[in-house]
Structure 1
Amino acid sequence: MNVDKILAISGKPGLYELKLQTRTGFVAESLIDGKKITVGLRSNVSLLSEISMYTESGEKPLVEVMRAIAVKENEGVAPSSKEDNATLLAYFGAVVPDYDQDRVYVSDIKKVLNWYNILQAKGMVSKEEPKAEKAVAEEAAAEKPAKKAKAEKAEATEEKPKAAKKPKAKKSEE
C-alpha cells in the first residue's frame, strides 16, 4: 500500500493525490471524483503516510491500521462510516485491539474507515507489506550505526582551523 502522495486536506471531504508542487502550493486530484484543485500553502494538509493512531503501546502508523483492515476484510470493503457508534467501536477493537480508547474517538474511526473505503475503491489497499518497504527499513536500521561511526571518525580527523592572518602594517611614506 503506497500512500506517499495521498493527502487529507482540512475542510475538504475525501482524499487527494498530489499531482504537482508549485511555488504557491500544489495541485491535487480528488480520489472520489477526479477533479483537480489547487491548494495554497496556508491550507492544513496531512500526508497519510505521516498520520498515526494512538495505541496503548505508543503510536501505530495509519498504513499499518489500514493493512490490518485489509487483512480482516480480505482486501474488501470495510463497514460504512454511517454505521452506529457501538458497531464501529466493536469493529475497530477487532482490527486494532490495543487502540487507546481514551484518545481515539468515534469520529477518528469513521474517518479511517471512510479513507480505507476510498483507497479500496481505487485498488490502492493491500494486505501484504511491500518488500521494498521491508528492505528500506532493514537497510536504514543497519546504516544508522555505520553513519554514526563514520561521523565520529570524521570529527576525530578533522583539521583544526587555521589561525587568522594578521593584517600587514602599512609602510608609512616619509
Structure 2
Amino acid sequence: MTLDKILAISGKPGLYVLRVQTRSGFVAESLQDGKKITVGLRSNVSLLSEISIYTNDDEKLLADVMRNIAIKENEGPAISHKEDNATMAAYFKEILPNYDQDRVYPSDIKKVLNWYNMLQAKGMVSKEVPAAAKEVATEESKEIVKEESKDEVAETVEATKEAPAKPKKAAAKKAPKAE
C-alpha cells in the first residue's frame, strides 16, 4: 500500500489524490466522487505517507498502521468510524497495542478508520510491504554498514596519527648550471 500521493485537505471531507502541481498550488481528485479541485498553497494539506501515530516508544507510520488493519481484516473493511469511542479504542488497541492513549485522541482513531475504509473501498489497501519500503529498509542497512565503515576508517586514521611518523628524506639539491 502506497500513500505517497494521497492527501487529506483541511476543511474538505474525504481523501484526495494528487494529480498535477501548478504554480499556485495543485490539482487533486477526490477518491469519493472523482471530482477534481484546485488547492492553493495556503491550504493546510497533509500527505498520508508523512502522518505518524504516537506510540509509547516512538512513532508508527500511518501506512504501517493501515497494513496492520489490513492484516487483521484480511484486506476487508474495518469497523465503522461512527462506532462509539470505547469500541474504536478497543479495536485500535488490537491493531496497535502500544499506541499512546494520552496523545492519540478518539478523533484521530476515527480519522484513521475512516481513511482506511475509504482506501479499502477503492482497493488501495494491502497486507504486503511495498517494494519501496523494502528498498528503504535495504538502503538503511547499507547506510548502517557505511557508517560502520566510516567508524573503522576513523579509528584507522586515529591510530596512524598516534603512530610515530617516519622521517622524510631530504630533497636532493640540484647543482647550479654553469654558464
> TM-score normalised to the size of structure 2?
0.79
Aligned equivalent of 1:79: 79
Give the C-alpha shift of residue 130 in structure 1. 2.0
* Paired letter, 1:123: G
- Give 1:44 deviation, angstroms: 0.4
1:111 aligns to 2:141 (yes or no): no
* 1:128, distance to aligned residue in structure 2 (A): 1.3
Q: Which residue of 2 aligns with 1:32?
A: 32
- What is the distance in 2 between the residues matched to 1:141 and 1:98? 26
Q: Which amino acid aligns with 1:24?
A: S
Shift of 1:139: 1.9
Structure 1 stretches of 4+ with a deviation exceeding 3 A read 143-149
Counting only pairs closer than 5 Å after superposition, residues 10-159 of structure 1 correspond to structure 2 as: 10-143=10-143, 146=146, 149=150
SS of residue in 1 equivalent to 2:75: coil
d(CA) in 2 for partners of 1:135, 1:5:
18
| Identity level (%) | 71
SS at match of 2:49: helix
Superposed CA RMSD: 1.8
SS at match of 1:33: coil
- Paired with 1:141 and 1:11, the residues of 2 have a C-alpha distance of 40
1:31: how far off? 0.4
* 1:11 counterpart letter in structure 2: G
Q: Distance in 1 between matches of 2:41 and 2:7?
A: 14
| Structure 1 residue 133 displacement after superposition | 1.8
What amino acid does structure 2 have at the position aligned with 1:73?
A: E
Per-residue Cα deviation, 1:101-149 (whole angstroms, up to 9, x for no partner):
0000000000000000000011000011123421232124314664895
Number of residue pairs the alignment of both structures matches:
151
Q: Whose radius of gyration is greater, 1 or 2? A: 2
| Deviating more after overlay: 127-136 vs 73-82 | 127-136
Partner SS for 1:7: strand
**Structure 2 residues without counterparts, runs of 5 or longer:** 155-179
* Whole-angstrom distance in 2 between the partners of 1:125 and 1:91: 18
Pick which of 126-135 and 62-71 moved more: 126-135
Post-superposition CA distance 1:34-84 (Å, at most 9, x none): 000000000000100000000001100000000000001000000011111
- Counterpart CA distance in 1 for 2:59 and 2:136 is 20
SS of structure 2 residue aligned to 1:110:
helix
CA distance in 2, matches of 1:87, 1:106: 10
Question: Scaled by the length of structure 1, what TM-score is found?
Answer: 0.82
Distance 1:144 1:19 in 2: 36
Structure 2: how far apart are the matches of 1:47 and 1:15?
Answer: 10
- Which structure 1 residue ranges, 5 or more long, are not aligned? 154-174
Tell me the equivalent position of 2:173. Answer: none
User: What SS does the aligned partner of 1:56 have?
Assistant: coil
Partner residue of 1:2? 2
